[in-house]
Structure 1
C-alpha cells in the first residue's frame, strides 16, 4: 500500500513540476499527424480485392452497384444485382476519400487534395484514368485520439506531406503556455469548429458533397465550390472555383439549382451558367449539421444539435423556396438526432440516428405526418431509388422495397464488418 501511494505521489510531482527558475511545467496530451509523402500517397491509389469495412461513410448507387465509402480510406464496391444478397466485388484504395460521383462508367473521387477518375466499365478490372493534382484544400480531419488537449503541426509541410491519421504523445510544456491555432499547436480546449431513378448518372445520399449535372461535376469543401467540365469523362478539366459559403457540409441538385447545406444555413445557387454557379440567396438557421433535399416548392432540412454540430435542439425544417430569392421557414418538426434524408413521391424518409428510420407522408408539406418508424436500428443516410430504398447506419446496409400505403418492407441486411 505504501508503494502505491509513493508511485502516485511521484506521478503527480512529475505532472506538475518546477525547474530551478521556479517555472511550473505540466504534461499535455498532444495529437500529432501521421504523414505520408505526396508521391507515395498518389502511388497508393488503385483498385484491390475486397476487404472488410471498418468505418463506413457515405453511400452511392449506380446501376446494379452500391459504393460504400470507407472514411478517408477508399471505396467498397458491392454487386447489388440481387438486392437480397449483395456481393463484395472490389475495394478502391483512395486515401483521403470522402465523396464520389459516377457517370457513364466513370467514377470521380476526391483523394484528399486530388481529383481521381476511374474507368469502372469492367468492375473486375477497375483502372485509374487520370489524376488532377492539387485541386482541393485538405479536408479538416478532427478525428483526433481521445482526450487530446492540443494538436501539433510542427513537422507538417503541406508542400510535401499528406495527413493520413493521428497519434497522441505526452509533451512537457510550461504551464499557461498554450500556443494557438496559427502556431505549432492548436489548443482544443479553446477551439470552436464543426467537423431519382437509376440512370447513367449515379445517385448519392443527402450527405453528398459531389453532384453531376449534365457535363459538369460540382464539388464543395468547407467554403469552396469547384466546377469541372466532364465532357471528356476520362480527362475532366477544371473550370472555376468560388467561395460559396461557410462550413459547407452537403450539396443537393434540383430544378437547375444547387442547394448547399452548411452549419449556418442553406445556400442556393443557380446553374443558369453551368460553368460558374451564381449565388441566389441564403436561408439562415442556428448552428447545426444540416443535410438538405428538395422537392418542388419545398426544401427539407434536418438540423442536428449536440456535440460539434451545435447546442440547439434537433429538428426537421420545411423551407418554402417557391421564391428562391427569398426562402422562408414554413414548418418545423422535432426529431432526436437526425442525419440524412430522402424523398420518393409523397414519402419523406428521415434517418434519425439512434432513433432509427422515420417515414413521413408529406402530401401536405406544412403538416407532414409520421406513418412508420423503425426504432430498433441506427440510421445515417438513405437513397430512395426507383424500386428500392437503400439505407446505411451503424454497422449495417439495409435495403427495402416499396409497398402500398406509403410503407416499405425489408429485403435484406448486409453486415459492414
Structure 2
C-alpha cells in the first residue's frame, strides 16, 4: 500500500508543484526535424516494385495509367486498362514529391528543390534520365499542427532537408517564445499530356511546364523533353497553392486569393488581376465566365491561427477578367479538390464525401448526389469517367444523365 502511495505521489509531481521553482516550467510539444542531406535526397530516387501506400495525395491520369502521389515519398503507378480491376505496376521513390506532369511519355516530378525527369515509354521499365537542381523553392516543408516549440539544434539549413518531424512532450522552462519568428526558408504536332486535379501545382501547356512553389510561377522550356530548362520565374504571393489553365490564362489559387496571369507569351506570364478572400486553403477550377474556388478553414490553412469562419465554395464571375466579382457563396464542411464536367460540379468535401451538383444556375446549385460514406480528397473528370482519390482509395465512376454511378474502388495496399 505504501508503494502505491509513493507511485501516485511521483506521478502527481509530473503535473503539479513538486519543488519551489515549478512555476517556472511547463510541458510543451517539442518538434525536432527529421532530415536528409542534399546528397542523400538526390541519390535516393529509385524505381521500385509496387509498394504499400502511406498517405495518398494527388492523382494524375495519362493514357491508360493513373499516378497516385504518396505524400513526400513518391508516386504509385497503376495500370487502369481495366477500370474494374486496376493493377499496381511499380513505385517511383521520389523524396519530397508532391506533383507530377507528363508529356509524350516524359514524366516531370518535384523532389524538394529539384525537378526530376523520367522516361515512361516502357511503363514496366521506367528510367530516370535527368535532374535539374535548385530550381524550385522547397514548399513541401509542413509544420506539425500540434507542435508548440521547435528544436533546431543540429539542423544545418545549408546542407539539411527536412523530410518529417519527431514530436515529443518535454518539460521546459517557461520562456516568452516569439512563435511568429519561427520560420524555415525553403529552398506543335500531336501532343500527349495527362490530366491533373484541381490541387495540382504543375501544368504543361504546349512546350512549357509551369510549376508553382511557395510564392512563384516557375517556367520551364520543355521543347527538348529530356532536358527541361528554367527560363523564368514570376512572383505571385506568399502561400501559392494550385494552378489551373484555360484560354491562355493561368489561375493561381493562394491562401489569400485567386490570381490570374496571361500566358500569350508562354515564357513570361503577365499579371492580369486577382480576387482577394480571407485566409483559407484554396484550389480553383474555371469554366466559361466563372471560377469555382473551395475555401477550407482550419488551423492547417491558417498557419496555426484560430479560424472562426466556415469552409465554403465561392463562385467568382470572371466575365470581366480585369475585375473578378463574387457571384455566390455556398457553405461546405471540409472541401478539398473539385472538378467540372458539362453542367456537373464535383466537390471533394473531405469526410463528408463526394458531392455532385448541377451548376446550370450558379445562383442556385442543385445537389444531385452525395457519396457520404467516403473520404474525398481530389477528383479528375475525364472524358469517359470520373477519378477520385481519398483515404488511400482510388474510386472510379461512370457518368449518367443524372450524375454518376460507381464503377470500381481500389485501395492501394
TM-score normalised by the chain length of structure 2? 0.91
User: How far has the Cα of 1:172 moved from its partner?
Assistant: 5.5
SS of the counterpart of 2:368?
strand
User: 1:12-411 counterparts in 2 under 5 A?
Assistant: 12=15, 18=21, 24-144=24-144, 147-169=146-168, 173-178=172-177, 180=179, 182=181, 200-309=192-301, 310-403=307-400, 405-411=401-407
CA distance in 2, matches of 1:223, 1:244: 6
Structure 2 portions without partners, runs of 5+: 185-189, 302-306
Structure 1 portions without partners, runs of 5+: 188-197
RMSD: 2.2
CA distance in 1, matches of 2:367, 2:13: 60
Correspondence for 1:7: 10
CA distance in 2, matches of 1:172, 1:17: 16
CA distance in 1, matches of 2:146, 2:349: 27
Correspondence for 1:413: 409
Equivalenced residues, count: 400
SS of the counterpart of 1:6?
helix
Q: Deviations over 1:322-351 (max 9, x none)?
A: 111001111222222111110111111111
Q: Deviations over 1:34-73 (max 9, x none)?
A: 1111112111111111001111000000000000000000
TM-score normalised by the chain length of structure 1? 0.90
Question: Retained in 1: the 8 A contact 2:112–2:136?
Answer: yes
The verdict on how the C-alpha distance between 1:26 and 1:371 changes in structure 2, with shifts beyond 3 A counting, is: closer
The verdict on how the C-alpha distance between 1:364 and 1:181 changes in structure 2, with shifts beyond 3 A counting, is: closer
The verdict on how the C-alpha distance between 1:181 and 1:315 changes in structure 2, with shifts beyond 3 A counting, is: closer
Correspondence for 1:195: none
Q: Deviations over 1:80-110 (max 9, x none)?
A: 0000000000100000001110110010010
User: How far has the Cα of 1:25 moved from its partner?
Assistant: 4.1
CA distance in 1, matches of 2:168, 2:350: 33
The verdict on how the C-alpha distance between 1:254 and 1:50 changes in structure 2, with shifts beyond 3 A counting, is: same
Question: Retained in 1: the 8 A contact 2:58–2:378?
Answer: yes
Worse overlay, 65-74 or 24-33: 24-33
CA distance in 2, matches of 1:339, 1:90: 27
CA distance in 2, matches of 1:178, 1:307: 19
